[in-house]
Structure 1
Amino acid sequence: MDHGSDEEGEDYPLLIEQRCYQEDDQRDGKSRTLQSYWVRVRQPSPSWIIIIYTCYQIIFGILAVPELNATFALICHQRHTGQTQKDAPNTRDLAGELQQCFASEDAQADLSRFTMYGQMIAGLLGAISSPILGSLSDRVGRKPILACVAIGPLIYEAIMVSVLRYPDSINMHWLLVGYASQGLSGSLITVTSTSQAYITDLVRLRARARLFSYLQAALSLAASLGPVISGLLLTLPNSLENIYKSAVYAHLSLILIFLFVLPESRSSHLDNAERDESTPEQNTSETYLQIFLQSLRSLKEYSTFLQRNIVILAGIDMFIFGILIGLFPLQLAYPAYLFKWQPTTQSFFTSMVNSWSILVLVLIFPMIMARVRRWKKITITPSLSLFNVGELGAIQASLALQIIGYVGIALARSPGVFIFSSFIVASAAPLTPLLTSCLTAHTPDHQSGQLLGFLSFLHAIARVGVPALLNATYSMTIGIYPAPLFLLLSIIIAGLLIASMSIRTSTNTL
C-alpha cells in the first residue's frame, strides 16, 4: 500500500503538470488566434473605407432637412419676424418663427439667394482645393486627407451651433465662412475620390467597379435613412441646435477614426512603382483644367460621330449632376411655401422618394432591362454597337420621365400631385450610371483616366453654375409665379432629350 501510495504520490504532480501544459497550450493557441485575427482586422481593406464612408454620408443625410430649416429659421428671425421683437434678445422661438415664414415670398427669395451664395463659395473653393488634396493624398497618404475633409463640415456645424444659440448677437452671414471651410476641405467630391483611391490602392482593376458601386449605394442609403432619423429628432425640443451639436461630436469622432483607427492604404502590398503603373487615373497632380485640355486633345483622334456622342453624353451628365446638387434645398422649400409642410413632413417625404429611387435602381430597372434584352431583336452586329441593348433608350426614357415629373411639380396644387410627380422624377434614378456606362464604352481602357478627369472638370463647373441658375430663377420669380423653376428644368431637359436623339449607336458609319 505504501508503494502504491508512493506511485500515486509520484504520478499526481506529473498529471497536474501535464494538465497545466495543456491549459497553457490552449491559452497560447487562443492568444495566437486572437492576435492573428487582430492583425487581419488591422490590415487595410476596402471594407474599412466602405463602412466609414457610409457613416460619413449618413451624417450628411441626417443634416439635409435640418440644414434647410436652420438656415430658413435664421433668415426669418434676423430679417423678418425677429425685427419687431428686440426686447428679449436670445430668447426667440426659432421653430415658431419658422412657421410664419413658410408662406413668405420675401423669406423664400432670401433663402434661395443665401443658398446660392453659399453653394457658389463652396463650389469655387472646392474646384480649387479638390485636385490639390487629391495630389497630397498620393504623397502623404489617404488618412490625413480624409481627416482634413471632415474638418470643413466640423467648422460649419460649430458656427451653426453658435448662431442658433445666439441669433441676436451673431449674424448668420458667418455661415458663409462655414461654406468656405467646406469648400477648402473638398467636402463630398474629395471624400468620394479619396475613398475610391483608397480602394484602388488595395484591389485590382476588375474588382473596383463592384466596390465603387458600394460607395454609390452608401450615398443612396444615407439619402434614404438620414431624413427618417432627422424627422424623429426634429420632434424633440430645441431640435436644430441639438442636431448640430451631435453632428459636431460625430465629425470629431470621424476625424479620430480616420487618424488613429483606419489603416493606411498607401503602405499596402503594392509598391510605389507598381501602383503608379497600375493606377494611371490617380495621377491627381494635374489640375482638372490640365486633364480637361488633355482630354480635348485626345478627342481629336476619334471620328466625328464619336466626338459628337461623347460631347452630348458628357453635356447631359454635366447638367444632371448640377441639378442633383442644386435642386434639393429648393425641392424642399417649394412645398413648404405651397403646402406649409413642417420639417418632419419634409424628412419623411425625402426618405420616401429616395427609398423609391433605391428600389428602382436595384430591382425595377434591372428587371426591365432584362426583359428588354429578351424582347428586342438585335438588328446590328453586337461587336459594332457602342451601347448595350436598351441603354440609349433607357437614357431617353429617363429624361422623358424627368420632363413629365417636373411639369407635374410645376402644375401641382395639392400635396398628392406633388408627391406623385416627385416619384416620377425619382424613377429616372438610373440615368447617372447609364450615362457613365455609355461614356466609358466610347473610350479605350487606357484613356479612362482622361475621361474621368474630363467629367470631373465638367462636374466642378456644374456644381457652381447650375445651382446658381436654379437659385437665381427661384429667388426672382417666387413672388410672381410659384413654379417657373420646374418649367425651366423641363425645358432644359427637353433640350437634352432632343440632343440625345442625334446619338448614333453603331460604328457602321465609321
Structure 2
Amino acid sequence: MDSPAEGSEGRLSRQAKDEEEGEGFRRDRGSEDVDEIESQSKPLLAPAETEITVDFDNGETVELPADGLKWWNRPSILILLPPFILYATALGAAAVPRVNMVLTLICQDYLNRKEREARGGDFTPIQLVLGADNPECEIPEIGAQAAKFTLYTHIITGTLSAITSPRLGQYSDRIGRRKILMIGAFGACLCETTLILCLKFPDHISYWWILLASAFEGSVGAFALILAVVHSYASDCTSFAKRSSAFSLFHGFLFLGIAVGPAIGGFAIDKTDDITVVFYGIVCVYLIFITYVLFILPESLSEEKMKLANEKFEEESLKSAGRTRWFDHVLKIVNVFKPLNVLWPEGENLTKVRVNMILLAALDFFMFGIGFGSITVVLLYSKVEFHWTTKFASYYTSMVNAARVVGLFIILPLIGRLFRKKPKPGDPIGGCDSLDTFIIRAALTTEVLGAIFYFIARGTPLFVVGGIVAALGGVGSPTIQSSLTKHSPSNKTGQLLGVIALLHSLARVIGPAAFNGIYAKTAKTYPQAVFIVLIALFMVAWVGSWFVTPHIAVDGVDDEAVERLFAEERGELDESEPLVGRS
C-alpha cells in the first residue's frame, strides 16, 4: 500500500497531468471551433461500418465493433431529410391558398350580408367561386376584415404553440422523437381537414371554424415544435462539433421547400381551377410524413436514455409533490418566460456578454416577428392594390423564397470563405466576430431597402423587386443564432436554441397582431401605412445592431463543457437534452 505522502504526490501528479492535457485540449478545441470552413468540409456522420476507438487513461486502447445495424436502421439526418423536405414543401404550398381561402369566405359572407340588408332590389346577388380569383372581393373593406380574422388565427396558433412546444419537446426525451413528430403532423393534418370542410360546405360550416383549425395546429406545437424536434433528432445522431452544420442543412432545405411549394400549388390551381386540390395534396403529404416516421424513420433515442429521462422526471415530481399547490402547477405550465434566464448568464464582469445576448435575441425576435407578421399583409395588399391572381401570388412567394435560398446556400458561405480570417492555433474564441456583425447589419440594411420598395411601389414590378431584396436579408437570422451560441458555454447550446424557438412562437403572435391590426385600420384610408411601420421597425433593429460588441464571451472555458466534449469522445455523452426550453 502506498504511503499517504506517496498517495498525495501521486494525486498531485495525476492532477497536474490532467490539467496539462485539459489545457492542450482547450487549445485544440479553440482552434477547431473557430475553423468553420474546415469543420463544414467533413461529413456530418461517420460511416456505419466505422469502429469506435476508446483511449483509456492508462494508455490502453480498445476498438469497439460497430453496432451491426444497417444504414436504414441507423438514426441519421439523411434518413430524416426526405420527410422534412416534404413537410417544408407542404408549408410553402399552403401559404397563398390559405390567404385566398380566408379572403373568399369572408367576401362571400360580406356579400350575403349586403344582400340581406338591401331593400327594393338595390343589391344584385353574387355567388362567388370559392377559392378562385373573384374581382368582387378586391376591395379595402374585405381586405381589412380578412386581415383582422387572420390576426385571430395567428393569436390562437401562436399562443397555444408557445405553451405546448416546450412541454412536448421535453416529453420527447421520455417517449422518443418519432412519437412527437407524428403528433405534430397529425395536428397539422386535422387543421387542413377542417379547412377543406369549410371550403366544401360553406353554407353549412361557417368560416369561423377556421379558428378551430388554428387551435388544432397550435395545440400540438405547430411548426415551431416540428422544427425543434427535428433539431433534437439531429443532435442525437450527429457529433457535437458538426451539429451546427446539421442545423444549417435543415434550415436550407426548409426554405428550399417553402420556395418550391408555392410554385407547385400555383401550378395545381392553374391546371384544375380548384384551390381545394392543394389542401387535399397537403393532407396526403402529412399522411405520408406520419407513415414514413412510423415505419421507416429509426428512433434516435435509445431505450436507456428514455428510461433515464423518465426516472429523472419521476424523481423531480416526487420532490415537488405535496409542497406545491395546484395553482402553482398551473402557473408553472403557462409561464412561458422562465427559459429566458439563459440569456442572463450568472457570474461577475459579464455585463457586455449579457448586453450582447439580449440584443442578439431581440434582433432575432424582431426579424422573425416582422417577417412572419408581414407575410399575410403583403399578400392581401398586393391582392387589393395590384389585383394579383392566386397563381401569380404563388409564383411571387416562390421567387422570394428562392432568393432566400440563394442567400443561405451561396452568398453566406461565399462571404465566409472569402472574408473570414482563418484562425491560428491557440487563438481565443471570443463571441461573434466582426464579420458576423457586418453580415447582421447588411441583412438589416437589405430588409430596410425592401420595405422602402414596398412603400414606393405603385405597380407589380417594383413590388416584386422589394420582396426579392428583403428576402436576401434572410442570411441575418442564422448568423444571429450562430452568434448567440458563441456567447454561451457549449453545454447550454440546447437550452439556448430552445429559447430561440420559444421567442419565435411568441413572435408568431405579436408580429401578425401588430401588422394585421395596422392594415385593418388603415386599409380604407392609407394602406401604405403598414410599410412605414415596417421601415421604422427595421431601422430600430439596424441601430440596435451597432451596439453588439464583437469578440465578447464568457471568460475562460467552461470545465463542464470540456468534460462534456471528453465524454463525447469516449462515447459516454447523453445528448437527450431537448432543444426546446424546459418548463
Q: What's the TM-score, normalizing by structure 1?
A: 0.83
Report SS of the residue matched to 2:241. helix
Which residue pairs with 1:186 in the alignment?
221
Which residue pairs with 1:29 in the alignment?
none
1:156–1:182 contact (8 Å) kept in structure 2? yes
The reply to whether residue 479 of structure 1 matches residue 498 of structure 2 is: no
- Which 10-residue stretch deviates more, 82-91 or 196-205? 82-91
Which residue pairs with 2:558 in the alignment?
none
CA distance in structure 2 between the aligned counterparts of 1:257 and 1:149, rounded to whole angstroms: 14
Cα offset, 1:238, TM superposition = 4.7
The reply to whether residue 440 of structure 1 matches residue 454 of structure 2 is: no
1:129–1:184 contact (8 Å) kept in structure 2? yes
Which residue pairs with 2:574 in the alignment?
none
1:137–1:145 contact (8 Å) kept in structure 2? yes
Report SS of the residue matched to 1:429. helix
Report SS of the residue matched to 1:236. helix
CA distance in structure 2 between the aligned counterparts of 1:507 and 1:138, rounded to whole angstroms: 33
| Aligned residue among 98, 109, 112 for 1:78 | 109
| Counterpart residue identity of residue 74, structure 1 | L
| Aligned residue among 339, 347, 350 for 1:303 | 350
The percentage of aligned residue pairs carrying the same residue is 28
| Counterpart residue identity of residue 226, structure 2 | V
The reply to whether residue 234 of structure 1 matches residue 269 of structure 2 is: yes
Matches within 5 A, 1:269-284: none
CA distance in structure 2 between the aligned counterparts of 1:258 and 1:137, rounded to whole angstroms: 14
Structure 1 residues 234 and 445, CA gap change in structure 2 (3 angstroms) = same
| Counterpart residue identity of residue 244, structure 1 | F
Which residue pairs with 1:197 in the alignment?
232
| Aligned residue among 450, 453, 459 for 2:504 | 459
Cα offset, 1:202, TM superposition = 2.0
| Aligned residue among 444, 447, 450 for 1:402 | 447
Give ranges in structure 2 of 5+ residues lacking alignment.
Answer: 1-66, 118-122, 313-331, 556-583
Any idea what the Cα deviations from partners look like across 1:320-356, whole Å, max 9, x if unmatched?
1112322222221111111111011111111111112
Any idea what the Cα deviations from partners look like across 1:295-335, whole Å, max 9, x if unmatched?
25525545222221211111111111112322222221111
| Aligned residue among 391, 394, 416 for 1:344 | 391
CA distance in structure 2 between the aligned counterparts of 1:157 and 1:88, rounded to whole angstroms: 33
| Counterpart residue identity of residue 75, structure 2 | P
Which residue pairs with 2:339 in the alignment?
291
Structure 1 residues 43 and 340, CA gap change in structure 2 (3 angstroms) = same
CA distance in structure 2 between the aligned counterparts of 1:89 and 1:269, rounded to whole angstroms: 66
Aligned residues: 462
CA distance in structure 1 between the aligned counterparts of 2:124 and 2:141, rounded to whole angstroms: 25
Root mean square deviation, CA, Å: 3.2
| Aligned residue among 61, 78, 96 for 1:47 | 78
1:72–1:98 contact (8 Å) kept in structure 2? no
CA distance in structure 2 between the aligned counterparts of 1:388 and 1:101, rounded to whole angstroms: 51
CA distance in structure 1 between the aligned counterparts of 2:511 and 2:246, rounded to whole angstroms: 30
Compare the two structures and name the one with the higher helix fraction: 1
Structure 1 residues 466 and 368, CA gap change in structure 2 (3 angstroms) = same
Structure 1 residues 208 and 367, CA gap change in structure 2 (3 angstroms) = closer
Any idea what the Cα deviations from partners look like across 1:227-249, whole Å, max 9, x if unmatched?
11011011134521222122223
Structure 1 residues 81 and 268, CA gap change in structure 2 (3 angstroms) = same
Structure 1 residues 202 and 367, CA gap change in structure 2 (3 angstroms) = closer
Which residue pairs with 1:280 in the alignment?
none
CA distance in structure 1 between the aligned counterparts of 2:477 and 2:503, rounded to whole angstroms: 14
CA distance in structure 1 between the aligned counterparts of 2:188 and 2:380, rounded to whole angstroms: 22
Cα offset, 1:67, TM superposition = 1.1
CA distance in structure 2 between the aligned counterparts of 1:75 and 1:174, rounded to whole angstroms: 12
Which residue pairs with 1:140 in the alignment?
175
| Counterpart residue identity of residue 320, structure 1 | M
CA distance in structure 2 between the aligned counterparts of 1:89 and 1:242, rounded to whole angstroms: 27
The reply to whether residue 101 of structure 1 matches residue 146 of structure 2 is: no
Which residue pairs with 2:299 in the alignment?
264
Cα offset, 1:452, TM superposition = 2.4
Which residue pairs with 2:405 in the alignment?
358
Which residue pairs with 2:22 in the alignment?
none
CA distance in structure 1 between the aligned counterparts of 2:86 and 2:504, rounded to whole angstroms: 24
Which residue pairs with 1:59 in the alignment?
90
CA distance in structure 2 between the aligned counterparts of 1:231 and 1:178, rounded to whole angstroms: 23
| Counterpart residue identity of residue 461, structure 2 | G
Which residue pairs with 2:374 in the alignment?
327
Q: What's the TM-score, normalizing by structure 2?
A: 0.73
